Structure 1
Amino acid sequence: MKNLFIALFLVAFSITATAQEKTTVTTVALEQTKGAFTQKELTLKEGTYVFQVSNNNAAPEVGFVLVKAGDDASNPANHIKEAYVTEVVKLGETESTSQVTLAKGTYTYFCPLNHTPQYTLQVE
């Protein structure tokens, strides 16, 4: 009976420990100036990220759009919604996205409000 109790305890502890494992989230800081991101290309490892976007006199409001390369970036249905900033970024401010999990591949990022070019984000 004692061995059964110990076994049940270990199973319960194992399940609790697994449930408490946390995903590592890395923050990527991006800065926008008038008509451009200062980071022209990014290379990241597969994982979970939060993008912090700063508005350095770029425009009254800026944002952030991330799409899988090859998808039509002008179609909002192709945007990775978690990668939108939670609020538009006003002059001199910084805002963040939700957590975005990126698989290996190539992505494109840009700001439709500040009319930046489309830049490459490579996930290895």
Structure 2
Amino acid sequence: MKRSLIIAALLIGFSAIGFAQQKEATVIKLDQTPGEFVTKELTLKPGKYIFEVTNKGVDHEVGFVIAPVKDGKEGDHIKAGYLSKAIKDGEKGSSKVVNLAAGTYNYFCPLNPTPHYKIVVKE
């Protein structure tokens, strides 16, 4: 019984932490249509973001990727930026909280596929 109470308390605590992190993050809503994102470039301040992507008319599942760009080269994907699952037409999905520092990033869909669009993060 004591062990069950401890496990329940831990689960509630972790859920509360996840909810608090989401409340601290700004939600960026992006629509994907066949072959492209509607929003072509983002300028953001350094901080925490959740990317919410809606599939609007793409007849197959779509995803979302963010990668830093340094010296003109795209780096490794930011795994927290992945959607929790690939989304079908009419559905939406969200990333985890992504902490973006000042710099340049690209976002794109590897499944649609779309061009690589720019995110500029600056004060």
After TM superposition, the score normalised by the length of structure 1 is 0.76
| Structure 1 residue 122 corresponds to structure 2 residue 120 | yes
The residue number in structure 2 matching 1:4 is none
Which string of whole-angstrom CA distances, capped at 9 and with x for unpartnered residues, describes residues 63-93 of structure 1? 00000014446xxxx1000000001111100
Segments of 5+ residues of structure 1 without an aligned counterpart are 1-19
Runs of 4+ in structure 1 displaced over 6 angstroms? none
Distance 2:85 2:121 in 1: 25
Q: Secondary structure at the match of 1:62?
A: coil
Output the CA distance in 2 between the equivalents of 1:99 and 1:109.
15
Is the partner of 1:89 in helix, strand or coil?
coil
Given that 2:74 and 2:106 are in contact with CA atoms closer than 8 Å, whether structure 1 keeps it comes out as no
Paired AA for residue 29 in structure 2:
A
Give the counterpart letter for 1:34 in structure 2: P
SS of corresponding position for 1:67: strand
* Structure 2: runs of 5 or more not aligned: 1-16
User: For 1:99 and 1:87, how far apart are their aligned partners in 2?
Assistant: 15
What percentage of residue pairs aligned between the two structures are identical?
A: 46
* Residues paired across the two proteins, number: 100
1:102 to 95, 100, 103: 100
Query: 2:110 and 2:119 mapped to 1: Cα distance?
Result: 17
Whole-Å separation in 1 of the counterparts to 2:62 and 2:96: 16
